[in-house]
């Protein structure tokens, strides 16, 4: 598989162009500031009077209502929550966008699951960083980048792919690696990753480990350090050098425990469930469930957030992190700013 870097991207595709970044949340603030640092003309599309409007202004960016931002732009990047995109596209973007403008996404969800039917004259592109928005920004500022996926769903101009590549490079992906894919492949693998491994699998694993130790009578503080805090230290080793690097650093005892026991935790049952989760994504069942949940004002998500906040692992964690002030310094997530 070919991996693209800065040298493969044609920066001239963005010269003299205006990019409207619609939304100034996790991804939006990162794209807008990275592009702007690269001397690309950016206008942020935000709700007048909303939190994002203030944050983007405070960052020194030009801000306009979504329709006004779209009207000025050659590339319109949709960085609202997935569930809000279809309505904003139909109401604000489609009527305002210039003929032949490019419409960009950071996730294939709305195109692949047919929530947005883009105007036929537009290029429709994907530039999807493989990492949380706050890291797309912090890694870029530190001189690195987050790997990116690109795709073209509609190529009216004949240059959609080149525009996607230049855009992905400009937000930092060209330093780390850019891979070409399709909207379908990105949407399905991204949903699978976050459900089975990165978010769903990982939080369930940490919680189950924590609760097993606490139920067996061990102190919750011990259980927290062991099953949650230390995760980052292990993940840093994986990130730096893969599985072998982590196994080299941990003790031989830990390595033997890993190779002899890990597959009992993620065994046949877990693998069968992963396949079911993938099938629900591929069939559109997950997308339908999520869209209906959002239309009903997210009752399940709201209830689960309240329940989760009450969990001992979160309460103990908050107290212990309070004793480690360096964790709170230079935060990746500062809700007043990003």
Asked if 67 touches ligand NDP (CB under 6 A), the answer is no
Is 118 a binder of ligand NDP (CB under 6 A)? no
**CB of residue 60 vs Mg ion: minimum separation in angstroms?**
29
From the list Mg ion, ligand NDP, none, pick the one residue 194 interacts with, judged by a Cβ distance below 5 to 8 Å according to partner type: Mg ion
Distant-in-sequence, close-in-space partners of 170: CB < 8 Å, separation ≥ 6: 9, 11, 14, 34, 35, 38, 40
51 binds ligand NDP (CB under 6 A): yes
Q: Which is nearer to ligand NDP, 49 or 217 (CB)?
A: 49
Q: Does residue 150 contact residue 127 with C-beta atoms inside 8 Å?
A: yes
Burial 221-257 (b: 16+ CB within 10 A, else e): eebbeebbbeeeeeeebeeeeeeeebbeeeeeeeeee
107 counts as catalytic: yes
Q: Kindly tell me which of 21 and 227 has the beta carbon lying closer to ligand NDP.
A: 21
Minimal CB distance residue for ligand NDP: 25
With respect to ligand NDP, which residue has the nearer C-beta, 246 or 281?
A: 281
Ranked by CB distance to Mg ion, the top (closest) residue is: 190
- Looking at beta carbons only, is 152 or 214 nearer to ligand NDP? 152
**Burial of residue 302, with CB atoms counted within 10 A of its CB: 0-12 exposed, 13-18 middle, 19 or more buried:** exposed
Catalytic residue among 31, 107, 112, 153: 107
Q: How far is the CB of 147 from Mg ion (least distance, A)?
A: 12
- Is residue 138 involved in binding ligand NDP (CB under 6 A)? no
CA torsion, points 197, 3, 102, 64, in degrees to nearest 10? 60
Exactly one of 129, 145, 174, 201 binds ligand NDP (CB under 6 A); which one? Answer: 129
Nearest-approach distance from CB 179 to Mg ion, in angstroms: 15
Residue 295 dihedral angles phi and psi, to the nearest 5°: -65, -30
Which residue number, 194 or 240, has a Cβ lying nearer to Mg ion? Answer: 194
Q: Determine the 3-state secondary structure of 142 from DSSP.
A: coil
Contacts of 181 (CB under 8 A, 6+ apart): 126, 149, 150, 151
Question: Rule CB under 6 A: is residue 24 a binding residue for ligand NDP?
Answer: yes
Which does residue 79 bind out of ligand NDP, Mg ion, none, counting CB within 5 to 8 angstroms by kind? Answer: ligand NDP
Residue 198: CB atoms within 10 A of its CB come to 15
338 binds ligand NDP (CB under 6 A): no
Residue 50 or 144: which CB sits closer to ligand NDP?
A: 50
* Number of residues in contact with ligand NDP under rule CB under 6 A: 23
Tokens of residue 100, six digits: 């032949």
Among 63, 88, 111, 178, which residue sits at the site for ligand NDP (rule: CB under 6 A)? 88
Q: d(Cα 81, Cα 22) in Å, to the nearest integer?
A: 10
Strand 148-154 and strand 18-22: pairing?
Answer: unpaired
**Residue 31 near ligand NDP by CB under 6 A:** no
Q: Which stretch binds ligand NDP (CB under 6 A): 6-14, 76-84, 269-277, 305-313?
A: 76-84
Alpha helices in 102-229 (DSSP H): 109-112, 133-141, 160-170, 173-176, 183-192, 200-215, 220-224
In the complex, the residues that contact Mg ion under the rule CB under 5 A are: 190, 194
Is 250:258 a contact under the CB 8 Å cutoff?
yes
Active site residues: 107
Query: Rule CB under 6 A: which residues touch ligand NDP?
Result: 23-28, 46-47, 50-52, 79-82, 84, 88, 106-107, 128-129, 132-133
């Amino acid at each position: 598989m070919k991996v693209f870097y800065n040298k493969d991207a044609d920066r001239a595709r963005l010269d003299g162009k205006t990019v409207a970044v619609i939304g100034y949340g996790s991804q939006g603030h990162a794209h807008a500031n990275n592009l702007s640092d690269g001397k690309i003309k950016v206008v942020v599309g935000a709700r007048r009077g909303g939190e994002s409007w203030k944050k983007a202004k405070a960052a020194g960016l030009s801000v306009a209502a979504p329709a006004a931002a779209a009207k000025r732009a050659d590339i319109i990047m949709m960085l609202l929550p997935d569930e809000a995109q279809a309505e904003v596209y139909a109401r604000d973007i489609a009527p305002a966008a210039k003929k032949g403008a490019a419409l960009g996404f950071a996730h294939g969800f709305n195109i692949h699951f047919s929530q947005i039917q883009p105007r036929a004259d537009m290029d429709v592109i994907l530039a999807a960083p493989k990492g949380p928005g706050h890291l797309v920004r912090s890694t870029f500022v530190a001189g690195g980048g987050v790997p990116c996926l690109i795709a073209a769903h509609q190529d009216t101009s004949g240059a959609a792919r080149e525009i996607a590549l230049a855009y992905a490079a400009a937000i930092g992906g060209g330093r780390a690696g850019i891979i070409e894919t399709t909207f379908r492949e990105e949407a399905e693998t991204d949903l699978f990753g976050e459900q089975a491994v990165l978010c769903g699998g990982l939080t369930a694993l940490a919680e189950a480990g924590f609760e097993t130790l606490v139920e067996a009578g061990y102190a919750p503080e011990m259980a927290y350090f062991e099953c949650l805090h230390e995760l980052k230290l292990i993940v840093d080793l994986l990130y730096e050098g893969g599985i072998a690097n982590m196994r080299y650093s941990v003790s031989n005892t830990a390595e033997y425990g890993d190779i002899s026991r890990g597959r009992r935790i993620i065994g046949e049952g877990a693998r069968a469930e992963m396949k079911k989760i993938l099938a629900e994504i591929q069939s559109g069942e997950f997308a339908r469930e999520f869209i209906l949940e959002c239309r009903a004002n997210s009752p399940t998500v709201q209830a689960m957030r309240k329940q989760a906040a009450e969990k001992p692992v979160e309460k103990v964690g908050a107290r212990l992190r309070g004793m480690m002030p360096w964790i709170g310094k230079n935060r990746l997530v500062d809700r007043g700013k990003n």
